[in-house]
Amino acid sequence: MASDTQNQQTAEFGSCCEELGQVMSGEEFEPLITVGGDGILYMSVGLIDIDEDEPGMVDHPVFFCPFCNTKLQDPEAVRAQLEEAFAADET
């Protein structure tokens, strides 16, 4: 279940246009555009074989809304946040 923070971020990211809001709602399907646990908006762009039984999703940060082209995230800020997270994982 999504946390209150994730629900707030999903609403914030989905507020630029009705189409993105609907895509992110996921009421009748598993959305391919979601807010990760790190607060970054991601789009699933493919599948990768991780396990013999289930493929894993390959996600990429979304910087602009694919429907209305509103800027949603700053690429430099996302990159810095991801680098910080990777550095923390290595320690």
Count of residues making up the chain: 91
Global pTM?
0.78
Q: Looking at residue 59, what is its pLDDT?
A: 95
> Residue 61 forms beta bridges with which residues?
42
C-alpha span between 1 and 19 (Å, rounded) = 23
* Mean pLDDT, the chain, integer: 85
pLDDT of residue 71: 96
pLDDT at 11: 59
- Residue 37 contacts residue 6 (beta carbons within 8 Å): yes
Residue ranges of the chain whose pLDDT lies below 50 = 1-8
**Enclosing domain of residue 9:** 4-90
Q: Give how many domains the chain has, as a whole number.
A: 1
Name the nearest CA neighbour of 9 among 72, 61, 57, 80.
72
